[in-house]
């Protein structure tokens, strides 16, 4: 079961513009929360704060395991991940991109080989494992990003527009992978999308972001 995530009155300002304005919400553990809303309402900012790669100007982001708050240290950060909209593909092979998260956790090469191989099969990139990752198409890069996130088996997965700017085929593959994560891993998923039909298909909780705050849709 994934971790629960509680946002307490968080605010964040960029260039004098208050993107998040005292936003509070609780994302229940093990559910898929899909956030929709117009551009510029702070959805991506919210995900970066949830991923603990940025800190709010005010308020707190609290992760809870069985109701107990967790310290925002490296150990917690390694229990969650964020799929960035631009993925951030490393200039190495497909295999080594996916292996990255395991290697930095000190996993042995045999286990890395097995886990990466299995994930590449799942996302349909097994045939490209030795290829330079920067040569992948946008859709394949998104699948690579998802594989990179999945292989570390996070308890919280934050997805920032995972199917934006890609073709229908890749979009369906990615959606299939997300459904598989939901069914098999019971991770807490917080996802941002602009596709209402996709949101309906994937969400346990459908949310709307407006004026820097979250509300149920």
From 17-25, 72-80, 110-118, 161-169, span contacting another protein (CB under 8 A): 72-80
Work out how close the CB of 100 gets to another protein at its nearest, in angstroms, rounded to a whole number: 6
For position 14 contacting another protein by CB under 8 A, the verdict is no
From 86-94, 117-125, 161-169, 170-178, span contacting another protein (CB under 8 A): 86-94
For position 7 contacting another protein by CB under 8 A, the verdict is no
Work out how close the CB of 202 gets to another protein at its nearest, in angstroms, rounded to a whole number: 20
For position 104 contacting another protein by CB under 8 A, the verdict is yes
For position 185 contacting another protein by CB under 8 A, the verdict is no
For position 191 contacting another protein by CB under 8 A, the verdict is no
For position 46 contacting another protein by CB under 8 A, the verdict is no
Q: What is the DSSP string of the chain?
A: ---EEEEEEEEEEETTEEEEEEEEEEE-TT-EEEEE--TTSSHHHHHHHHTTSS--SEEEEEEEETTEE---SHHHHTTEEEE-TT----SSBHHHHHHHHHHTTT--HHHHHHHHHHHHHHHT-GGGTTSBGGGS-HHHHHHHHHHHHHTT--SEEEEESTTTT--HHHHHHHHHHHHHHHHHH--EEEEE-S-HHHHHHH-SEEEEEETTEEEE-
Work out how close the CB of 132 gets to another protein at its nearest, in angstroms, rounded to a whole number: 5
For position 114 contacting another protein by CB under 8 A, the verdict is no
For position 165 contacting another protein by CB under 8 A, the verdict is no
């Amino acid at each position: 079961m994934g971790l629960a995530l509680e946002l307490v009155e968080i605010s964040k300002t960029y260039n004098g513009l208050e993107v998040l304005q005292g936003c509070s919400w609780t994302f229940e553990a093990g559910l898929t929360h899909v956030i929709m809303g117009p551009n510029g309402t702070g959805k991506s900012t919210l995900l970066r704060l949830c991923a603990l790669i940025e800190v709010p100007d005010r308020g707190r982001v609290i992760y809870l395991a069985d109701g107990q708050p967790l310290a925002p240290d490296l150990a917690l950060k390694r229990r969650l991940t964020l799929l960035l909209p631009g993925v951030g593909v490393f200039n190495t092979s497909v295999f080594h991109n996916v292996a990255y998260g395991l290697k930095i956790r000190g996993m042995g090469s045999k286990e890395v080989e097995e886990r990466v191989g299995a994930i590449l099969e799942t996302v349909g990139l097994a045939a490209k494992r030795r290829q330079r990752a920067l040569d992948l198409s946008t859709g394949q890069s998104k699948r690579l990003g998802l594989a990179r996130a999945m292989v570390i088996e996070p308890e919280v997965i934050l997805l920032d527009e995972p199917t934006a700017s890609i073709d229908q085929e890749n979009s369906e593959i990615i959606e299939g992978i997300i459904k598989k994560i939901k069914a098999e891993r019971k991770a807490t998923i917080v996802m941002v999308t602009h596709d209402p039909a996709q949101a309906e298909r994937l969400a346990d909780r459908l949310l709307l972001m407006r004026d820097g705050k979250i509300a149920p849709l």
